[in-house]
Amino acid sequence: MPLLAAVSLLSLAAIAYEILLTRLFSIALWHHFAYMIISLALLGYGASGTFLVFAKHRLLSRFHTSFAALAVSFGVAAIGCYALVRHLPFNPLEIIWDWRQQVHLAAIYLLLAVPFFAAASAIALVLAAWPARIGAVYRADLMGAGLGALGIVAALFVLPPEDCLRIIAAFAFGAAALALYSVGRRPAAFAILLLAVPAALAWPQTSLTPMPSPYKTLSLALNVPGARIVAERTSPLGRLTVVESPHVPLRDAPGLSLASTLMPPEQLGIFTDGEGMTAVTRFGGDFAAVAYLDELTTALPYHLLDRPATLVLGAGGGAQVLQALFHRAPRIDAVELNAQLVDFVRRDFDDFAGHIYAHPAVSVHVAEARSFVEASDARWDLIQVALLDSFASSAAGVQALSESPIYTVEAFQTYLRHLAPGGMLAVTRWLGSPPRDTLKLLATAISALEANGLGSAGERMVLLHNWNTATLLVRNDAFSRDEIALIRRFAAERQFDLAWFPGIRREDTNRYHRMAKPTLFDATAALLGPARSAFVDDYRFDIRPATDDRPFFFQFFRWALLPELATIQSRAGLVYLDSGYLVLALALPQAVAAAAVLILLPLAWLRRAERATRAPGRIRVALYFLAIGLAFLFIEIAFIARFSLFLGHPLSAIAVTLAGFLVSAGLGSGVSRNIATRWPQMAIVLAVAAIATLGTFYALVLPHAFGAMMGLPLAAKSVIAIGLIAPLGFAMGLPFPLGLTRVSESAPALLPWAWGINGCASVIAAVMATLLAMHFGFTALLVLALGLYAAAAFLLGQERRPARSSA
Amino acid sequence: MYSTGKERAIPRLSSVVATVALLLVVAPQAVAVDAYSSDRLEMVRTIEAIAREVGGGATPSVLGMDVLDAMRRTPRHAFVPTYLQSLAYADRPLPIGYGQTISQPYIVALMTDLLRLAPGGRALEIGTGSGYQAAVLAELGHDVYTIEIVPDLAKQAAKRLSELGYDKVRVREGDGYFGWPDAAPFDGIVVTAASQQIPPPLIDQLKPGGRMVIPIGAAFLTQELILVEKLANGTVRTEAVLPVSFVPLTRSQ
């Protein structure tokens, strides 16, 4: 058993390393680049299969030593390769301008693939060494991965990422020691265990600390004379940095009127992973000092509602809470996802912030905004969806990859249902040009109103904008004539433009903050009219409303734009491509090309080996493992998205869902041998039938069932989620070991190749899943996955020839 | 290493002696002859080609001849780090340290064009960076006041501009928010420092009829330009101008 424990430990370390790298690169660069780098580095898994096709015999002859050596290699490379990568002068922002950046990027892929390659080779080696126990080995692998995902999320709450890196390296040495111990080589095992200490500790902290790009907002803020970091805290949600700038004020007031001469008082900036600054404003109880809060586009609802009970979604540093207090809101619920961020305002800088989070009218809730509202019975007069992402990152489209459950049609329906009579929903976004966010916001609001059975959406909406922000008001009731007069006065005094209000005329628009044509008004009119679908279909960007099934509010790219982009020869045309999407679109062909090389490379070699056997054809094997590799990830990703909404906090969602899938799949894998013995002809078909039944059932039932259970406490919801995931995961754990056992019995030479193909498929699947979900939705992804499983059953489901002829 | 002097001889120095000395240096190179002169001509040809290709609507497809002439004269290679000099005239932004960049030549030309300064105008720049934009404005014959918040960049730019003979450019180190009240009002203002706010003091210091240009976007890629106009009656109007013209609909235009 110690060897299986070693497999678990190594697998744990590898998955923890993968998640940790995402964190480290999010601090140094940006999340979407982290995503691309790590996706590609994971091809080390695929490469391990290719390598073992050639080296299997040599390594198996000294099996335990080989395993230990590979595990130690992982331990050394996990830190070493990362430390090397830190020194590469890679600037992803220059990648479209400078070919040398592409060379750096390739070097990063290769370096970071090394540790994954070593870990995967070690595990594949055990599979090859113990063909009779494939199910048990794969179970150890999956269980370790499940624990690793849970463990690293927990560890990142208490330890800085640099220290997590050291622990991961030590674990790898532990795995090596266990392998040697399992064959009685105790002195060697003990020596390796001792070596773990210097391997983990020899690296000075400075060689591991991520170096933030000089182009990050935080780096730029710190270039200002006198600016300095006054506090820092990390968690799996990101590294929070608090900056004070005593000489040059931060002056954060998004949506401030150009006619205003007011200025915010002194502020502290809180950056998450060096971006997305949210400000804590100094407040000493004197509301006159924060009168600028009445000069923002977000102040409009307070002029229409008298002292509204207010819900602030995305409280951040508290600017919107202060704004609600300024307008004498008697009850303010402030929702913020990151507990550490709340702590800064509530504890560390409590005096500075004027105790706003301890104000008797204010209740602060640490929760994910959407699920907070779903679970609540309360109603509010005003729901403010705050603007938390930064202007520049919004303009650059870095969020294109992110799912945003707060901006979907279903979310808006929920907000509208939680409004008291006469209440309003106010959503503020960066304006941006050409218009994208604002139009998608409008389309989403209109769909939500209609879905709630409220006709004439145009009577229930007001769209107000400044030069760089737009605030959309939506309500269940129509706006009255008096209210419209108030709105017009509010806008005129502050030189805000109105792009929509009931009864607006074209000449009322595009006055102060102009576009070449009154595009916002024209678009709103089109979206409210009979030509809506034609308008949406024809628009250059994807402005279809986001839904829970396709919750990518920030994805605007349409492939229809591509031919036109291609005709613009200068790179100026790239302003139309959101960088988040660009990264995905680049990662996929790279991954596919690299995977193709890794899969095809050993073919010639295998042809010889195969001739001796009467195995299922190579192509059949390749397609089988490709299909189940893709399908497993597709289903996992689709359900993580579904369960995120249900469980609320994205971290609990990932921990519960990912660990749930991996552990239950591990358990399934553990019994695969029994199933294969009992139903030798039908095992794969049975597994696929179970997956298809459960998958279809969940797809149809879950979206409705979850609604009723949203209000349950997290523990209860976690138990329900695990209960639902377990049977599906169990069944999904079967096809891989069943197929691998088939291959190992009839054509053992193909085993490492199959392992490698599965590894490549997982990498491609992760990138493809995001792309597919963006364009077609998670349900489509699920359907595709079930189709792939069906194809797999067809490919390898029934033995075509008498079995075990080569045994 | 840096260009030996200004390539265009405009006797703007008060001292006759200095004028003569300058003429002696510059006269033989009146048509901008240095190691990079052909690169520079090529750069401007590229700018013109891009403008023709992507212009339309609010985005000009033909840029002012005076702007292009100024860019033909400004030694861009002197404004980039030594190790990047070979790329100075490529149509791309380049890093200059401190998380700052020197903008893509096409964007510099476009911003300068959008300012529509009359000859001999007075311009304010917030965010000097390398000093290239200030130099281009000075080449156009404007009085340029430029403020940089990063002390090292401010010092380097001041030194570079004075060595190159751009004595009509005044560089100050500090917070650009309050503008340059002593030199106000300005005919044009360029705010290249990334900003979520348009500082009210800058609007105050803009002459009626004056224009302000603010590029928006992440480093190395300008997504849009905000053009702020102060009308004759003092009202302020903004307009979003894209570096690439935008036709919102694909079929029914």
Nearest-CA residue of chain B relative to A245? Answer: B175
Nearest-CA residue of chain B relative to A492? Answer: B235
pLDDT at residue B10 is higher than 80: no
Contact A520, B210 (CB under 8 A): no
Q: How far is B140 from chain A (nearest CA, A)?
A: 25
CA distances from B160 to A450, B79, B167 (A): 62, 8, 11
Give pairs for A481-487: CB < 8 Å, separation 24+: A483/A304, A486/A303, A486/A304, A487/A300, A487/A303, A487/A304, A487/A462
Query: Judging by DSSP bridges, how do beta strands A310-313 and A332-336 pair with one another?
Result: parallel
pLDDT confidence of residue B2: 38
Chain-chain contact of B95 with A579 (C-beta, under 8 angstroms): no
Cβ-Cβ contacts under 8 Å, A571 against chain B: 91-92
d(CA A218, CA A229): 10
Nearest-CA residue of chain B relative to A256? Answer: B197
Q: Which candidate, B162, B109, B220, B42, places its Cα nearest to that of A396?
A: B220
Query: Judging by DSSP bridges, how do beta strands B186-191 and B122-126 pair with one another?
Result: parallel
Query: Judging by DSSP bridges, how do beta strands B100-102 and B94-97 pair with one another?
Result: antiparallel
d(CA A107, CA A103): 6
Which ranges in A452-578 belong to alpha helices (H)?
481-494, 519-528, 532-538, 562-567
> DSSP E strands: which ranges in A303-435?
310-313, 332-336, 362-366, 380-385, 419-430
The single-letter DSSP state of residue A550 is B
CA distances from A715 to A127, A147, A644, A712 (A): 37, 18, 14, 8
Q: Which candidate, A429, A430, A433, places its Cα nearest to that of A445?
A: A429
Chain-chain contact of A575 with B92 (C-beta, under 8 angstroms): no
Query: Judging by DSSP bridges, how do beta strands A332-336 and A362-366 pair with one another?
Result: parallel
Q: What tokens does B200 get?
A: 């009210």
d(CA A341, CA A353): 13
Q: How far is A278 from chain B (nearest CA, A)?
A: 13
CA distances from A541 to A433, A536, A567, B222 (A): 12, 8, 17, 19
Q: Which candidate, A386, A444, A373, places its Cα nearest to that of A415?
A: A373
Locate tokens 């960066």: which residue? Answer: A430
Q: What tokens does A78 get?
A: 């996990």
Enumerate residues 6+ apart whose C-beta is below 8 A from A327: A293, A294, A299, A302, A307, A308
Q: Which helix (H) or strand (E) covers residue A146, if one does?
A: helix A134-158
Out of A495, A513, A575, the one facing B242 most closely (by C-beta) is A575
Cβ-Cβ contacts under 8 Å, A568 against chain B: 53-54, 244
Contact A219, A274 (CB under 8 A): yes
A687 sits in the region (left: phi over 0; alpha: psi -120 to 50; else beta) called alpha
**B103 in active site:** yes
By residue count, chain A amounts to 807
pLDDT confidence of residue A274: 92
Interface test with B, best of A399, A515, A527, A532 (most B CBs within 10 A): A515
Cβ-Cβ contacts under 8 Å, B246 against chain A: 433-434, 540
Q: What tokens does A337 get?
A: 């996802």
Angle made by CA atoms B94, B99, B100, in degrees to the nearest 5 = 50
pLDDT band for B1, please (50, 70, 90 cuts): very low
Which ranges in B74-199 belong to alpha helices (H)?
105-115, 132-139, 151-163
Chain-chain contact of A571 with B92 (C-beta, under 8 angstroms): yes
Cβ-Cβ contacts under 8 Å, A467 against chain B: 198, 226, 228, 238, 240
- Could you give the strand order of the β-sheet that contains A332-336, starting from the edge strand earlier in sequence? A362-366, A332-336, A310-313, A380-385, A419-430, A469-475, A461-465, A497-500
Out of A96, A225, A535, the one facing B151 most closely (by C-beta) is A225
- Could you give the strand order of the β-sheet that contains B122-126, starting from the edge strand earlier in sequence? A513-514, B236-241, B224-230, B206-216, B186-191, B122-126, B143-148, B169-173
pLDDT confidence of residue B249: 60
pLDDT confidence of residue A572: 66
Locate tokens 């189940």: which residue? Answer: A628
Q: How far is B84 from chain A (nearest CA, A)?
A: 12
Chain-chain contact of A574 with B221 (C-beta, under 8 angstroms): yes
pLDDT confidence of residue B243: 82
Cβ-Cβ contacts under 8 Å, A575 against chain B: 217, 221-224, 242-244
CA distances from A467 to A257, A432, A487, A578 (A): 9, 9, 18, 21
Q: How far is B67 from chain A (nearest CA, A)?
A: 19
Chain-chain contact of A433 with B149 (C-beta, under 8 angstroms): no
Nearest-CA residue of chain A relative to B149? Answer: A224
d(CA A44, CA A40): 8
**What is the ipTM score, two decimals?**
0.89
pLDDT confidence of residue A804: 42
Q: What is the CA radius of gyration of chain A?
A: 28
Chain-chain contact of A224 with B150 (C-beta, under 8 angstroms): yes
Contact A385, A427 (CB under 8 A): yes
d(CA B146, CA A96): 30
pLDDT confidence of residue A772: 93
Query: Judging by DSSP bridges, how do beta strands B143-148 and B236-241 pair with one another?
Result: unpaired
Q: What is the CA radius of gyration of chain B?
A: 18
Mean pLDDT by 10 residues, chain A (807 residues): 94 95 90 84 90 90 95 96 93 86 90 96 94 93 94 92 95 96 93 93 92 93 95 92 95 92 94 92 96 97 98 94 97 95 96 96 94 93 86 63 88 97 96 88 96 92 95 96 97 96 94 89 94 91 93 87 71 70 82 88 70 68 94 92 83 84 94 89 92 93 82 88 94 94 86 91 90 92 96 78 40
Cβ-Cβ contacts under 8 Å, B249 against chain A: 535, 538-540
Chain-chain contact of A576 with B244 (C-beta, under 8 angstroms): yes
Cβ-Cβ contacts under 8 Å, A223 against chain B: 98-99, 149-150
Q: How far is A571 from chain B (nearest CA, A)?
A: 9
Q: What is the dihedral of CA A343, A348, A354, A356, to 10 degrees?
A: 10
pLDDT confidence of residue A398: 63
Residue B242, SS3? Answer: coil
Assess whether the previous peptide bond of A713 is cis (omega < 30° from 0).
no
Chain-chain contact of A434 with B242 (C-beta, under 8 angstroms): yes
Nearest-CA residue of chain A relative to B177? Answer: A248
Q: How far is A583 from chain B (nearest CA, A)?
A: 15
Residue A164, SS3? Answer: helix
The single-letter DSSP state of residue B205 is T
Out of B151, B219, B239, the one facing A215 most closely (by C-beta) is B219
Contact B225, A578 (CB under 8 A): no
B38 sits in the region (left: phi over 0; alpha: psi -120 to 50; else beta) called alpha
Cβ-Cβ contacts under 8 Å, A398 against chain B: 218
Q: What is the crossing angle of helices A683-709 and A735-746, to 10°? A: 170
Least confident range from A564-578, B75-89, B224-238: namely A564-578
Q: Which candidate, B251, B250, B242, B248, places its Cα nearest to that of B61?
A: B242
Cβ-Cβ contacts under 8 Å, B237 against chain A: 511-514
CB pairs under 8 A between A and B: 162
Contact A256, A271 (CB under 8 A): no
Q: Which candidate, A41, A46, A49, A33, places its Cα nearest to that of A17?
A: A41
DSSP A205-240: GGGTS----TTSHHHHHHTSTT-EEEEEEEETTEEE
Note the pLDDT tens digit of each residue in B162-192.
999 999 899 999 999 999 999 999 999 999 8
Nearest-CA residue of chain A relative to B92? Answer: A97
d(CA A411, CA A397): 22
Contact A161, A20 (CB under 8 A): yes
Longest dimension (CA), chain B: 66
pLDDT at residue B253 is higher than 60: no
Out of B99, B197, B243, the one facing A220 most closely (by C-beta) is B99
Enumerate residues 6+ apart whose C-beta is below 8 A from A148: A11, A12, A13, A14, A15, A16, A19
Contact A83, A205 (CB under 8 A): no
Phi, psi of A384 (to 5 degrees): -100, 120
Interface test with B, best of A33, A216, A295, A433 (most B CBs within 10 A): A433
**Which residue out of B37, B61, B86, B103 is catalytically annotated?**
B103
pLDDT confidence of residue A393: 61
pLDDT at residue B144 is higher than 90: yes
Out of B98, B196, B221, the one facing A391 most closely (by C-beta) is B196
d(CA B217, CA A468): 12
What count of other Cβ atoms lies within 10 Å of the Cβ of residue B213? 22
pLDDT confidence of residue B247: 66
Q: How far is B174 from chain A (nearest CA, A)?
A: 9
d(CA A770, CA A772): 6
Q: What tokens does A687 get?
A: 């597994």
pLDDT at residue B60 is higher than 60: yes
d(CA A503, CA A479): 10
pLDDT confidence of residue B248: 62
Chain CA centroid to CA A485, Å? 43
